[in-house]
Structure 1
Amino acid sequence: MPAAGVKALVESGGQPRAWTFLTNHAHVLLCLARESLTARELSLLIGITERSVQAILADLIAEGYLEKTKVGRRNSYSVNPSGRLRHPLESAHTVGELIDVLA
């Protein structure tokens, strides 16, 4: 095993580090593009805390990637497909393009 692999195992207490190609922000966007879900449903689906989902929703709303509307006692979220991806390497692409490819 390469030295970097051994170091990662030691730092993680003997367990391989878990990682994914997409951020939790991307997971929230993709899930909401498919169907209307509550923060609790998103947290269970993505595997993060409900509080983390709420923080991500706040980020995405503040930056214009999501719009929140009240439907009775429940919040409903709609994705803005024209929002640009944030990293300079991907900024020529939109959220809608990402959703089209992955959803």
Structure 2
Amino acid sequence: MKPAIADRETAPMDASAKSWTFLTNHARILAAVAYAPDRRIRDTAERTGITERAGQRILRELETDGYLIRTRTGRRTRYIVHPARPLGELPVPAKATCSDCGQRPAVKAPSTG
């Protein structure tokens, strides 16, 4: 018996059940940094399934393009997602920004007339 739709929406996904992803490595790194800005690059890369070297390159590209702000405190680096940066080529409204990520669009009630 299949679980109800609500159960499938909230149930964790079995990683071995699929071989593709909706998000690019850049989007995955951006989301990981938004979630944990103080995490080491090595740990962020590992959690997103890429090499540390690729993680460094992606962070540098995101910073260069204005999606991340990098600050240093002693030997630690902290990345902050620039919330007003537009998302670019995603199929979202033209004025969508990074701060719109993860927010559900408003659902319009069906008209009754």
Q: Using structure 2 for the length normalisation, give the TM-score.
A: 0.68
Equivalent position of 1:53 in the other structure: 55
Q: Which residue is equivalent to 2:24? A: 23
What is the identity, as a one-letter code, of the residue corresponding to 1:71?
T
**Match of 2:50, as an amino acid?**
I
Instruction: Name the SS for the 1:87 alignment partner.
Output: coil
For the residue of structure 2 that corresponds to 1:76, the secondary structure is: strand
Percent of matched pairs sharing the same residue: 38
Matched residues, number: 86
Note the aligned Cα RMSD (angstroms).
Answer: 1.9
Greater RCO (Cα-Cα under 8 Å, separation 6 or more)? 1
Q: How far apart in 1 are the matches of 2:68 and 2:75?
A: 19
Q: Any unmatched runs of 5+ in structure 1? A: 1-16
Partners of 1:100 and 1:49 lie apart in 2 by 29
Alignment of 1:1-103 (within 5 A): 18-35=19-36, 36-87=38-89, 89-90=91-92, 91-100=94-103
* TM-score under structure 1 length normalisation: 0.74
Gaps of 5+ in 2: 1-17, 105-113
